[in-house]
């Protein structure tokens, strides 16, 4: 049995210190996504149902390629933070939460890297 009180354990440690940074970063990503989503979604919707060469030509264009890469980088951080917030709220228990947060980071990083790699490969004509 532990006789140390909760207060004893945390006294003098101060705050978590980086809570507001996460909050702020998510707002920065959200604001960046407003124009990025609009610029990203338009050529994407145009591409639905088009044939291979036409779609390749769209993403070989530097403007569309740069927008798509910026989109994937930004969504990677926004998605990770958003899902993290949901996990922290609904997943209980240290082991389950830690696992979920790890999987979240790996999943969102994989999405971001795959997206950036694919667009870069197309844009460089590979």
Partner 1 sequence: MADVNRSNRPLSPHLSIYRPLWTMGLSITHRITGVGLAVSITMITWWFLALAIGEDYFEAANAVMTSVVGGFILIASLWALSFHFCNGIRHLFWDAGKGLELETAYRSGLAVMAGSVVLTVIGVLVVAGVL
Binding site for partner 1 (CB under 8 A): 1-7, 27, 30-31, 33-34, 37, 41-42, 44-46, 48-49, 52, 55-56, 59, 68, 72, 75, 79, 82-83, 86, 111, 114-115, 117-119, 121-122, 126
Whole-number minimum distance, CB 11 to partner 1, in Å? 13
Nearer to partner 1, 70 or 119 (CB): 119
Nearer to partner 1, 98 or 121 (CB): 121
Nearer to partner 1, 96 or 117 (CB): 117
Nearer to partner 1, 4 or 15 (CB): 4
Whole-number minimum distance, CB 112 to partner 1, in Å? 9
Phi-psi region of 125 (alpha: psi -120 to 50; beta: other; left: phi over 0): left
Rounded Cα–Cα distance for residues 106 and 3 (Å): 39
Residue for token pair 């006789």: 3
Rounded Cα–Cα distance for residues 82 and 95 (Å): 20
Whole-number minimum distance, CB 96 to partner 1, in Å? 17
Rounded Cα–Cα distance for residues 14 and 68 (Å): 41
Rounded Cα–Cα distance for residues 87 and 19 (Å): 16
Sign of the Cα pseudo-torsion (5, 8, 13, 17, in order): positive
């Amino acid at each position: 049995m532990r006789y140390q009180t909760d207060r004893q354990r945390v006294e003098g440690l101060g705050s978590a210190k980086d809570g507001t940074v996460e909050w702020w970063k998510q707002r920065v990503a959200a604001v960046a996504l407003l124009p990025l989503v609009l610029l990203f979604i338009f050529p994407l919707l145009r591409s639905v149902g088009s044939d291979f060469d036409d779609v390749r030509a769209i993403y070989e264009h530097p403007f569309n390629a740069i927008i798509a890469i910026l989109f994937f980088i930004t969504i990677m951080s926004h998605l990770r933070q958003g899902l993290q917030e949901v996990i922290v709220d609904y997943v209980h228990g240290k082991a389950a939460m830690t696992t979920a947060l790890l999987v979240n980071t790996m999943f969102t990083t994989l999405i971001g890297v795959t997206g950036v790699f694919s667009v870069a490969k197309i844009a460089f004509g590979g």
